[in-house]
Amino acid sequence: MAEWNKAQLKVILIGSSGVGKSSFMNQFVNHRFSSLYRATVGADFLSKEITVGHRLVVLQIWDTAGTERFQSLGSALYRGAHCCLLLFDVTSAASFSALSTWLQEFLLQADPPDPTNFPFVVVGNKTDLENREVVSYKQAVTWCQEVGAEYFEGSAKDDVNVDKPFYAAAKAALQHYKKHT
Ligand code: GTP
């Protein structure tokens, strides 16, 4: 496929500390998982090439720190984003309640041209854990419908539904930007 046809998409991963953003990105890009927790300092990024329909897409995935301390980096990081993955932990009600603030803060700082239709995908992570029903599937889907986001739940640990949210985000971003270019 011709090089000019390759789309570059900037994908931002946000959500509270410890929900599994780094793990999700590592499983998707490197097919690796570690149980050790090392908080992200500032932000990291990895690239991965995927095919969406007949289109070659390079995803530049930004894994951001969930701690308050680094949230001032927001606008520099978020600007130019094509889509956003909002992560929470299905065993943590607090991480689910925080989604709304993450979403609003993202829109404020990224300042995209059409905020109402900006492509968000929500991921409920850690479904491998026993207390996975702390936030129910229904509860999560209802919230996602309200904000117009697609919902997936899975596990970075067991590699369940890790690829799907990235493909869905890329597809939504391609559609969104076709309308705006
Ligand atoms: P910050 O960098 O602080 O924002 O955290 P983060 O959201 O990047 O979380 P991280 O990926 O570092 O994961 C936090 C902890 O949760 C680590 O101990 C991971 O091993 C663990 N973890 C991540 N995903 C899963 C999962 O799907 N299942 C289980 N059981 N543990 C997970």
Closest atom, ligand 1, to C-alpha of 25: 11
Give the per-residue pLDDT at 2. Answer: 43
pLDDT band at 36 (very low <50, low <70, confident <90, very high): confident
Give the per-residue pLDDT at 110. Answer: 93
Q: Compute the distance from residue 67 Cα to the ligand 1 centre, in Å.
A: 13
ipTM of the complex, rounded to two decimals: 0.99
pLDDT band at 38 (very low <50, low <70, confident <90, very high): confident
3-class secondary structure per residue, the chain: CCHHHCEEEEEEEECCCCCCHHHHHHHHHHCCCCCCCCCCCCEEEEEEEEEECCEEEEEEEEEECCCHHHHHHHHHHHCCCCEEEEEEECCCHHHHHCHHHHHHHHHHHHCCCCHHHCCEEEEEECCCCCCHHHCCHHHHHHHHHHHCCEEEECECCCCECCHHHHHHHHHHHHHHHHHCC
Average pLDDT score, the chain? 91
The one-letter amino acid code at 107 reads L
The pTM for the full model equals: 0.93
Measured from CB, residues less than 6 Å from any atom of ligand 1 are: 17-23, 34-35, 37, 39-40, 65-67, 125-126, 128-129, 155-157
